[in-house]
Amino acid sequence: MEYKNIIVKREDKIAVITINREKALNALNDETVNELQSFFHHSWGDNSLGCVIITGAGKAFVAGADISELAQCDVQKAIATSMKGLYLTKTIENFPCPVIAAVNGFALGGGCELAMACDIRLASDKAKFGQPEVNLGLIPGYGGTQRLARLVGRGKAKQMIFTGEMIDAHEAHRIGLVDEVYPVEELMNKAMEMAKSITSKASLAIAVAKECINRGLDINLSAACDLEKINFGAIYGTSDAFEGMKAFLEKRKAEFKGK
Ligand code: CAA
Rg (CA), the chain: 19
pLDDT tens-digit series, residues 52-88: 999 999 999 999 999 999 999 999 999 999 999 999 9
- Do 74 and 149 lie in a common domain? yes
The answer to whether position 26 is within a domain reads yes
Using 50, 70 and 90 to split pLDDT, how confident is the model at 32?
very high
Residues 168 and 224 in one domain: no
Q: Could you report the per-residue pLDDT of 123-138, keeping only the tens digit for each? A: 999 999 999 999 999 9
**DSSP per residue over 120-146, as a string?**
EEEEETT-EEE-GGGGGT----SSHHH
Phi and psi (nearest 5°) for 219?
-130, 175
Q: Please tell me whether residues 65 and 150 are part of one structural domain.
A: yes
**Band (158; pLDDT cuts 50, 70, 90):** very high
Testing ligand 1's pocket by substitution, the residue of 22, 33, 67, 79 carrying the most ligand atoms inside 8 A of its CB is: 67
Average pLDDT over residues 89-97: 97
d(CA 136, ligand 1 centre) in Å: 11
Do 244 and 254 meet the contact criterion of CB atoms below 8 Å apart? Answer: yes
Task: Give me the pLDDT at residue 13, please.
Answer: 97
- Residue 204 to residue 201: CA distance in whole angstroms: 9
Please give the number of the atom of ligand 1 that sits closest to the Cα of 108.
45
Residue nearest to atom 15 of ligand 1 (CA): 24
pTM of the model: 0.97
Task: Ligand 1 pocket test: pick from 25, 84, 87, 147 the residue with the most ligand atoms within 8 Å of its Cβ.
Answer: 25
34-to-58, 224, 230 alpha-carbon distances in Å: 21, 34, 36
**Residues 51 and 144 reside in one and the same domain:** yes
Q: What is the CATH number of the domain that holds 157?
A: 3.90.226.10
Instruction: Give the active site residues.
Output: 113, 133
pLDDT tens-digit series, residues 176-231: 999 999 999 999 999 999 999 999 999 999 999 999 999 999 999 999 999 999 99
- Ligand 1 atom nearest to CA at 59: 29
Q: Which atom of ligand 1 is nearest to the CA of 144?
A: 53
Decide if 256 is inside a domain: no
Q: What angle do CA 208, 226, 147 make, to 5 degrees?
A: 60
Average pLDDT, the chain: 97
* One domain for residues 41 and 146: yes
Check whether residue 49 and residue 129 sit in a common domain.
Answer: yes
Specify whether 191 is located in the same domain as 225.
no
Q: Separation of 98 CA from ligand 1 center, angstroms?
A: 28
How far are the Cα atoms of 197, 204, 246, 255, 257 from residue 240, in angstroms, in the given order? 17, 8, 10, 8, 6
Residues 160 and 61 in one domain: yes
Ligand 1: distance of its center to the CA of 219 in Å?
A: 37
257 domain-assigned = no
User: Above pLDDT 70, what percent of the chain?
Assistant: 100
The percent helix, strand, coil of the chain (3-state, each to 5) is 55, 15, 30
- Given a contact cutoff of 8 angstroms between Cβ atoms, the answer to whether 179 and 119 are in contact is no
The total number of structural domains in the chain stands at 2
Q: Nearest 5 degrees, angle CA 42-CA 255-CA 190?
A: 65
**pLDDT for residue 1 is more than 90:** no
For residue 156, is pLDDT > 90?
yes
Whether residue 259 is contained in a domain is answered as: no
Per-residue pLDDT at 175: 98
Residues 161-188: b if buried by 16+ CB within 10 A, e if exposed: beebebbebeebbebebbbebbeeeebb
Stretch 143-158: mean pLDDT: 98
Q: Give distance in angstroms: CA of 106 to centre of ligand 1.
A: 9
| Cα–Cα distance, 202 to 131 (Å, whole number) | 36
The rounded Å distance from CA 186 to ligand 1 centre is 25
Region 137-161: mean pLDDT is 98
* Residues 11 and 111 both lie in one domain: yes
Looking at the chain, the whole-number percentage of residues with pLDDT higher than 90 is 99
**Is the distance from CB of 13 to CB of 199 less than 8 angstroms?**
yes
Give burial (CB, 10 Å; 0-12/13-18/19+) of 145: middle
Ligand 1 first shell, C-beta below 6 A = 24-25, 27, 63-68, 85, 106, 108-110, 113, 132-133, 135-136, 138, 140-142, 144
Q: Which domain holds residue 164?
A: 6-199
Burial (Cβ within 10 Å: 0-12, 13-18, ≥19) of residue 221:
exposed
